[in-house]
A and B are shown apart, each in its own frame.
Chain A
Amino acid sequence: MKYIPTIGIECHVQLATKTKLFSEVDNDARGKEPNSCVSPVDYALPGMLPRLNGEAIKFAILAGRAMNCEINAYSRFDRKHYFYPDSPKGYQITQFYHPIIGEGYVELPSGARIRIEHAHLEGDAGKLTHFDMYSLVDLNRVDTPLIEIVSMPDIHSAKDAHDYCKELWRLMTFAGVSYGDLYNGNMRFDVNVSLAPEGATELGTRAEVKNLNSFRSVERAVEYEIARQSKILDAGEKVVQETRGWNDSTGKTTGQRSKEEAKDYRYMPEPDLPPINLTAEFIETESAKLPLMPTGYRKKFGGVLKAEILEVLLDYAELMKKLAEIDEKYVVAIANLFTSVLLAEEKSAEYLNDLPTAKQLNDLAEMNEKKELSSTATKEVFLRLFDPQMKGRDTKVIAKELGLIQENDLGALEAIVDTVLAKPETQKAQADFKAGEEKVIGFLVGQVMKESHGKANPSAVQEILRKKLA
């Protein structure tokens, strides 16, 4: 039978604030020792009180606006109780009843819109590492601010699930609210999948796959679940509502121990944190700080750049900002350099941290346009611009130092061509060309290029050669 899959996704995004959500301790534990970014609040020592980080509220507004969401003036925190060593408090502080971010939508590259049900602020849990006989607890991640984004069940394919997660990642990195480092768990996805027979009005029983940390694993887990559930339904059996874990190496999901029900969390208002009640002006001021989002760039560059190139570049927020500063007439040339040269390099991520200035790039494109630089030389100078020592320096000076400026002076070029034509080793080629062997022109151009130490403009050389040998 044919089934229509319905997919809802919950995404946890770690916010890149300087300090944690509820204490003034360093929130950036990347590359730091276990338990070195921990406050007495994180340890939940008796009498410790949470102190709300105002920046997290501002980040939540930006994140919400990036997803075209309503920002709720009134929001509040609740305690969600559960017992586990990753949470010394014995509860998570979250926004169960009154989230800060209301309804909105995310537009995929295909134009499809996935509605957002809501998103809320909460503190992350610590990290557990499991060994044979024991587990170790690192509390660095405790109360790192998170926003949990809950989608409506608008996704109906593994590809759209992938694209939605990727677009969320872009929105969060473009908005500048998260480092977006998936490898380090900055974004984690819980995906629930259900199947219903085509034409059915009710959704089927859903299974939830928890804690996916890449777009690819989201896509694979959804594909796997669709296949698994189809098989169950085809056999006339019932899908069990459960939480399943994903194994990236086997490519399978497996059932996990049943989870608590909502009432088991014993939600209650967090008495230590007064409610948030934002003025319209505050929301307006913070919302106005949202930079151009991927959809905006698609509108801006859609007529100029090919969709495939644009979608590649849209993975890099800093790069897009830079591209927006480039002279309109050079956007295509610079975009092509980024895609063909930089992103092909192994070190691209490292390079992208510190981009050349718009002026350096504009000058480079102009030199290429005026044929002062061959296309090969342009690529070479382009990469050179990423050298920290070249920071802010004039592109022309750099190109000159590298000896890459093309010889366009026709008089000078003619003199070089004459020298080459006078050489005994080119006589046969000249005769062959005159006799109609078109392809030897390449050999002759090559000889001139060699004589000019690579600085001659090959098309100008070819033109001169053809004139002289006519």
Chain B
Amino acid sequence: MEIKREDIIHLADLSDFSLSESEITSLGQDLQGIIGYISQLEELDTDNTKPTYQVFEMENVWRADEILPQDATREELLALTKEEKDNQIKVPKVL
């Protein structure tokens, strides 16, 4: 699979990144390398392997529905944001 320039621009668009020309080129090369690496896996014979997405074979890991005190306060969490207003996170206008 070949990573095209448009693919990089489209991905950047989906993530709301603006990329310079040189970044488009270098990211394209990086991504091409990663895809190439992954495609090596296609050589493996997986006919007798069940599809899986985790290797711990854990199931049904869930917790009780009880409110617990949180490790961080609202003030601490809001302090991590670039800008806040009226206890909310202020972001550039989106629609």
Which residues of A come within 8 Å of B, CB atoms? 17-19, 24-26, 33-36, 38-40, 43, 45, 51-57, 76, 81-85, 90, 128-139, 260, 264, 266, 269, 271, 273-278
A331 and B24 CA atoms in complex are apart in Å by 73
A135 touching B92 in the complex, CB below 8 Å, given contacts A35-B87, A40-B77: yes
* In the complex, B50 has a CB within 8 A of chain A: no
A74 closest partner in B (C-beta): B59
Are A52 and B91 in contact (CB-based, < 8 A)?
no
Q: Distance (Å) between the CB of A399 and the closest chain B CB?
A: 44
- Looking at chain B's contact residues, the main secondary structure is loop
Q: Distance (Å) between the CB of B28 and the closest chain A CB?
A: 17
Q: Which of B70, B87, B90 is most buried by chain A, counting CB atoms within 10 A of its CB? A: B70
- Cβ 8 A contact of B91, one of A18, A45, A85: A85
A214 and B61 CA atoms in complex are apart in Å by 36
Are A53 and B86 in contact (CB-based, < 8 A)?
no
A81 and B16 CA atoms in complex are apart in Å by 12
A266 and B59 CA atoms in complex are apart in Å by 24
Are A35 and B74 in contact (CB-based, < 8 A)?
yes
Q: Distance (Å) between the CB of A82 and the closest chain B CB?
A: 7
| Residues in chain A near residue B67, CB distance under 8 A | 18-19, 24-26
Are B70 and A35 in contact (CB-based, < 8 A)?
no
* B contacts with A, residue count (CB < 8 A): 36
| Residues in chain A near residue B95, CB distance under 8 A | 130
- Cβ 8 A contact of B88, one of A18, A34, A274: A34
A33 and B73 CA atoms in complex are apart in Å by 13
Q: Which of B10, B74, B86, B88 is most buried by chain A, counting CB atoms within 10 A of its CB? A: B88
* In the complex, B54 has a CB within 8 A of chain A: yes
Which residues of B come within 8 Å of A, CB atoms? 10, 14-16, 53-54, 56, 58-68, 70-72, 74, 77-78, 80, 85-95
A136 and B78 CA atoms in complex are apart in Å by 12
A275 touching B59 in the complex, CB below 8 Å, given contacts A39-B70, A136-B85: yes
Are A274 and B54 in contact (CB-based, < 8 A)?
yes
Are B92 and A278 in contact (CB-based, < 8 A)?
no
- Cβ 8 A contact of A274, one of B10, B59, B66: B59
Are A54 and B62 in contact (CB-based, < 8 A)?
yes
A136 touching B68 in the complex, CB below 8 Å, given contacts A43-B80, A128-B94, A130-B95: no
Are B70 and A40 in contact (CB-based, < 8 A)?
yes
Are B65 and A55 in contact (CB-based, < 8 A)?
yes
Q: Distance (Å) between the CB of A91 and the closest chain B CB?
A: 11
Are B54 and A33 in contact (CB-based, < 8 A)?
no
Are B53 and A84 in contact (CB-based, < 8 A)?
no
Are B65 and A54 in contact (CB-based, < 8 A)?
yes
| Residues in chain A near residue B85, CB distance under 8 A | 134, 136
Q: Distance (Å) between the CB of A320 and the closest chain B CB?
A: 26
Q: Distance (Å) between the CB of B38 and the closest chain A CB?
A: 13
| Residues in chain A near residue B54, CB distance under 8 A | 269, 271, 274-275
- Cβ 8 A contact of A131, one of B14, B63, B64, B93: B93
| Residues in chain A near residue B89, CB distance under 8 A | 35, 85, 136-137, 139
Which 8 A-B pairs rank lowest in CB-CB distance, beginning with the nearest?
A: A55-B65, A269-B53, A136-B88, A54-B62, A24-B68, A274-B58, A137-B89, A52-B62
A145 closest partner in B (C-beta): B65
